[in-house]
């Protein structure tokens, strides 16, 4: 005879294993302890296994067979959730888990607002956000740990699909009192011998250094940092200039110093901000809805054009 196991019983079993007690599992799931205890007893009776060792002084401990059963229980619940998501997609419903990556240098400016408006529009979506550098975004899209990412068109590999949305030219960052801070534009040849604070992230740093190719020289990098907030504060305290492609919310650095932004002349290649997915990802109704939402709500280049951090 087929087993009569319910997903609810499996969910309660997993919660007890994760929490270490029925009481904590009941608190986590917002149900009563007797409800979980009854479900566990019914599950053990149905499968014919003692999934827990009951000790009066120490409560429950997962048995050896219980640990093995736990692996199958987790897999069954995950498959059931995936099947539910598929059914929703076939029915045209936007729901389920959505794992969104964003380039770490502008995630704080772009992602929270997009996330808020998206889940307000689609409240059945469980939104998970991840701030990553460019290499991590590529890796995690390929491994399906991310469904979609917002990033720049930096070294996009051929097995991933990029949809450009906004052009963002590079801008030099200076301290308020820097001699070049009041200029309308500045050429790479005027920057190459000055001390530079390099935002040193995978892929990103190569783009910034490439802006000096026509000078035949490498810029004089005196500091490297992976943290855009640190970069902005170093610049505001006049340890050097930096280059980035997206505007901060204010001209104030994180430590209270003041920044000035000057466009770089000579027509350097702008970065394109857009959506990156693995091949075929937009067949998912939820991913397609997010891509459309970003396209409609990301804004235009004027919102981001003087900036705090390409990446």
- CA separation, residue 62 to residues 18, 55, 136, 268 (Å): 10, 11, 36, 62
261 pLDDT more than 90: yes
In a domain, 157, yes or no: yes
% pLDDT > 70, the chain: 89
Residues 108 and 225 placed together within one structural domain of the fold = no
Residues 174 and 229 placed together within one structural domain of the fold = yes
Q: Domain range for residue 65?
A: 7-90
279 pLDDT more than 80: no
- Local confidence band at 310 (pLDDT 50, 70, 90 cut-offs): very low
Residue ending a domain, among 39, 71, 90, is: 90
Residues 134 and 72 placed together within one structural domain of the fold = no
Domain count, the chain: 3
In a domain, 223, yes or no: yes
Residue ending a domain, among 90, 106, 140, is: 90
pLDDT given for residue 6 in this prediction:
86
- Local confidence band at 281 (pLDDT 50, 70, 90 cut-offs): low
Q: Look up residue 276 and give its two tokens.
A: 């990156």
Residue 75: CATH number of its domain: 1.10.10.10
In a domain, 284, yes or no: yes
Higher pLDDT pick, 267 / 13: 13
- CA 112, CA 102: separation in Å to the nearest integer? 10
**Overall average pLDDT of the 80-99 stretch:** 73
pLDDT tens-digit series, residues 207-246: 899 999 988 999 999 999 998 899 999 999 999 999 998 8
Higher pLDDT pick, 92 / 74: 74
pLDDT given for residue 231 in this prediction:
94
**105 contacts 204 by C-beta, under 8 angstroms:** yes
Residues 172 and 162 placed together within one structural domain of the fold = no
120 pLDDT more than 50: yes
pLDDT given for residue 306 in this prediction:
44
Q: Which residue has the tokens 């396209």?
A: 295
- Burial tier of 283 (Cβ tally within 10 Å: 0-12, 13-18, 19+): exposed
In a domain, 268, yes or no: no
Residues 14 and 80 placed together within one structural domain of the fold = yes
pTM of the predicted structure, to 2 decimals: 0.64
Residues 152 and 197 placed together within one structural domain of the fold = no
Residues 177 and 249 placed together within one structural domain of the fold = yes
pLDDT tens-digit series, residues 15-55: 988 888 888 888 888 888 888 889 888 988 888 889 888 77
């Amino acid at each position: 005879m087929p087993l009569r196991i319910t997903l609810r019983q499996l969910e309660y079993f997993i919660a007890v294993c994760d929490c270490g007690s029925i009481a904590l599992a009941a608190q986590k799931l917002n149900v009563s302890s007797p409800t979980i205890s009854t479900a566990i007893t019914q599950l053990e009776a149905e499968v014919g296994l003692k999934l827990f060792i009951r000790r009066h002084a120490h409560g429950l401990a997962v048995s050896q067979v219980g640990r093995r059963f736990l692996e199958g229980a987790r897999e069954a619940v995950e498959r059931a959730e995936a099947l539910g998501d598929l059914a929703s997609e076939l029915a045209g419903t936007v729901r389920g888990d959505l794992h969104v990556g964003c380039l770490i240098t502008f995630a704080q400016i772009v992602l929270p607002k997009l996330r808020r408006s998206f889940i307000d529009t689609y409240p059945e979506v469980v939104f998970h956000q991840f701030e990553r550098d460019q290499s991590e975004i590529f890796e995690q899209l390929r491994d399906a740990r991310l469904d979609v990412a917002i990033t720049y068109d930096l070294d996009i590999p051929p097995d991933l699909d990029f949809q450009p949305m906004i052009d963002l030219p590079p801008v030099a960052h200076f301290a308020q009192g820097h001699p070049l801070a009041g200029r309308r534009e500045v050429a790479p040849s005027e920057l190459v011998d000055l001390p530079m604070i390099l935002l040193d992230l995978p892929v990103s740093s190569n783009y910034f250094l490439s802006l000096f190719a026509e000078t035949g020289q490498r810029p004089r990098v005196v500091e490297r940092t992976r943290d855009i907030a640190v970069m902005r504060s170093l610049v505001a305290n006049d340890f050097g200039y930096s280059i980035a492609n997206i505007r901060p919310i204010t001209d104030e650095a994180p430590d209270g110093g003041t920044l000035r932004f000057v466009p770089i002349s000579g027509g350097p290649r702008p970065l394109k901000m857009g959506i990156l997915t693995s091949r075929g990802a937009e067949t998912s109704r939820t991913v397609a809805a997010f891509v459309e939402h970003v396209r409609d709500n990301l804004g235009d280049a004027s919102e981001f054009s003087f900036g705090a951090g390409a990446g």
